[in-house]
Amino acid sequence: MSVMRTTCLLMSLMSWSLHAQLIGGPKSTPAPTPVAAPTTSFAKHRFGNLAPVKASLLVQPADKTVDPIPYEVTFLGRQENMILMQGTQPGAIAIQIDKAQIIRCEFELEYDRLAAATACQNCDWASAVRIMTPTIRPAVPYLDIPDNNGFDVSMDLAMYMVNSAAREMRAASDSNTVTRANRQYEAAYSIFMNAGRAEWTPYGRVAILKGCRALIKQGKIEQAIADYETVDEPDAEDVSYGNYWLVRGEIHYSKGKLREALEAACKSVVLANKDVETFPDALMLSAVCYQKLGRYHRARDIYYEVAVIFTGTDWSADALVELTKIMESKKTMEKEKAPLENVFFNVTEDINKLAEELLKKKKEKVG
């Protein structure tokens, strides 16, 4: 991929200079000053020192009539849209390139994918984070580069961090555990914000919204609101729709606005494709709101369905805890005063009976 195509002979001086600098160039080609003694251009951009990451690029030369050219490089740092990189060939020196010239980017992301997949299957989020982080983290500052292969896996890693932090926070018994969980939320937020700069994919908006949720988990509500307000309200078909309304619901809930939180959660739930990353959380938020509003039958129904549908997950475990509280309180033994059709599942069965049977089975299993 690093061999220059024959059409390069027709390139403009600028595009030839780029190629020559990456591969070391012939002796007759003036070479730019190395990074160790930066030129005015390098000094102007003041590239941040980042962990090196190898990548295969497809670059559009300045001469638009010339076909894009592939390069093998190592990214060394960046400052805004200018990226510092170096060819992988002997003698290559570091040069800068505008992000706008990069058409496609494939990072070298080698990690034990089988071990990571197994950890996720077992909901062992902490192990998944440990396996993936060393490889994925160096690519995070470059997620806004068009059509790169690091975006999706970085989003996955950030979600695993959130899941791991939530689990630690749930079982936290001392301040050290809380601090450790918050650091994971902060690490996830950093990834989401870098992904949020990716204008080449609609999932950049999803990343910003997921970053808001990481902030809310830390109690940083005002910062979450500020980030949230940078995202326009999406259409129902938009990929960010479920996250958008879930974040609004969580913000309302944090401020004690239960009815507004419930309304937003319901909008997130009604999303036609039932995004697995927002659907259960939106259900749980709606159940908590119903519970605090004294609508115990509605809360019971939702907790039951979450416990059954998402069995073996943290959502199911949390739902079982709250379902147990409601059933022990006997607050659903009386007929619901204003029965409503179950919005989410159209349940017509005796949920009290089903809930009692479910809790009995869970208790016997533990015993």
Q: Are 310 and 280 in contact (CB under 8 A)?
A: yes
**In terms of domains, do 134 and 57 share one?**
no
pLDDT reported for residue 244: 96
Choose one of 51, 74, 107: the last residue of a domain: 107
Q: 310 Cβ partners below 8 Å, 6+ apart?
A: 280, 316, 319
* 283 CA to centre of own chain: 20
Structure token pair of residue 278: 């927002």
pTM here is 0.84
- The dihedrals phi and psi of 235, each to the nearest 5 degrees, come to -75, 160
Cα–Cα distances (Å) from 210 to 83, 138, 155, 258, 263, in that order, read 26, 20, 9, 21, 19
Q: How many domains are there within the chain?
A: 3
Q: What one-character-per-residue DSSP string does 47-114 give?
A: PEEEEEEEEEEEE--SSTTSPPEEEEEEEEEEETTEEEEEESSTT--EEEEEGGGEEEEEE-----HH
Question: How far is it, in rounded angstroms, from Cα 203 to Cα 197?
Answer: 10
| 3-class DSSP assignment, residue 148 | strand
pLDDT at 169 over 50: yes
Indicate the Cα dihedral angle 27, 33, 37, 40, nearest 10°: 170
Domain that holds residue 66: 6-107
pLDDT in tens, 204-261: 999 999 999 999 999 999 999 999 999 999 998 899 999 999 999 999 999 999 999 9
Question: How far is it, in rounded angstroms, from Cα 184 to Cα 344?
Answer: 33
Name the average pLDDT for the chain. Answer: 85
Q: Is residue 175 part of a domain?
A: yes
Choose one of 107, 142, 174: the last residue of a domain: 107
**In terms of domains, do 59 and 47 share one?**
yes
**In terms of domains, do 12 and 119 share one?**
no
**In terms of domains, do 117 and 220 share one?**
yes
Choose one of 87, 107, 127: the last residue of a domain: 107
